[in-house]
Amino acid sequence: MVEIPEGLRERYEKLLGLEVEAFLDALLRPLKPSLRLNTLKGDPEEIRAGLEERGLELTPVPWCPWGYWIENLDEEEALGNYLEHFLGEFYVQEASSMVPVEVADVKPGMRILDIAAAPGSKTTHAAQRMENTGAVVANDVSVHRIKALTYNLDRLGVVNCLVTTMDGRRFGRLLPGFFQVVLVDAPCSAEGTVRKSFRAWHNWRHGSYRRLAETQKALLISAFKATEPGGVVVYSTCTFAPEENEGVLTHLLDNYPCHLEEISLPGLNGAPGLSSWEGEVYNPQVERAIRIYPHRNEVGGFFVARIRKEE
């Protein structure tokens, strides 16, 4: 049995109050696998029917029209062995990870940037929303992870995407005001992923929050600068840490001309962003971001904010 690090348990008690036991119970339950049908490779109804004929029991993820949970599969890995997976007819994706692109309001023909893109869940989802038109710049600093990204783009039949390998902090200076939508799916302490792997608990150090928050702030500011006036930045993490979520957003909101927009997706029970944490008072707008908790939605943890740059 894996033990939650002591300091982390105390933080969750502060964060969730009376809900903490339900939250911890949910974190210790294995995650139900989910996938997104790929409309770039076929009619989603036909792909779904084909998977059901092969014995998969699928139930819809209400906030993504192509998202499904698989009710009768224990091993997510097994999905990678399906011919339909090899053909790119679906992408294995955690249901909460489908939220950022669904709130980004990405449309065909747009110019968008995915500043930390590998291995490509959000990029391939955005390309699907854009019907393979317009242009997606998919960037990641890690050469190793870029290989998985290019493999996934190829497998899913994405043709509107340009891949770059550089530090995302450079985009704001290189292409100021260029993109209509920028996705910042930031590197983070990944506390929301423990239902898939306990690595985040094994690696947990309180001191990591500050270092991660500095990178996240720099990436978010770069993304903001690369966005055209009136455009949208979607900031997301898969962690519960307020320092990496509301703290990072507050830094942007207090220093740059932008505001947060309300997020509402069908069937998604998101909790509002926190107004304060450990003596730090956050910009009141962060309450418009959503915290996705595993005990409220039977998913992995996520944090998502939709930022509008002023005209």
Ligand X SMILES: C[S@@+](CC[C@H](N)C(=O)[O-])C[C@H]1O[C@@H](n2cnc3c(N)ncnc32)[C@H](O)[C@@H]1O
Residue 218 CB contacts under 8 Å (≥ 6 apart), including other chains = 169
Asked if 11 is part of the footprint of ligand X (rule: CB under 6 A), the reply reads no
Mask for 170-209, x = binds ligand X (CB under 6 A) = ---------------x-x----------------------
Q: Which stretch binds ligand X (CB under 6 A): 8-16, 76-84, 135-143, 273-281?
A: 135-143
Name which of residues 108 to 127 contact ligand X (CB under 6 A).
115-122
Minimum CB separation of residue 17 from ligand X in Å reads 28
What DSSP string describes 247-307?
HHHHHHHHHSSEEEE----TT--PEEPPSEETTEEPPGGGGGSEEE-HHHHSS--EEEEEE
Contacting residue, 169, 196, 288, 296, with ligand X by CB under 6 A: 169
Type and span of the H or E element at 92:
strand 90-92
Tell me the site size for ligand X, rule CB under 6 A. Answer: 20
Judge whether 233 and 220 are in contact, CB under 8 Å: yes
Q: Which is nearer to ligand X, 123 or 283 (CB)?
A: 123
Residue 239 CB contacts under 8 Å (≥ 6 apart), including other chains = 188, 189, 190, 191, 192, 200, 245, 301, 303
Active site residue 161: no
Angle (nearest 5°) at CA 185 between 181 and 189: 160
Q: Which is nearer to ligand X, 79 or 117 (CB)?
A: 117
Q: Which is nearer to ligand X, 234 or 263 (CB)?
A: 234
- Residues of the shown chain interacting with ligand X in the complex, contacts defined by CB under 6 A: 115-122, 139-142, 145, 167-169, 185, 187, 215, 219
Catalytic residues: 238
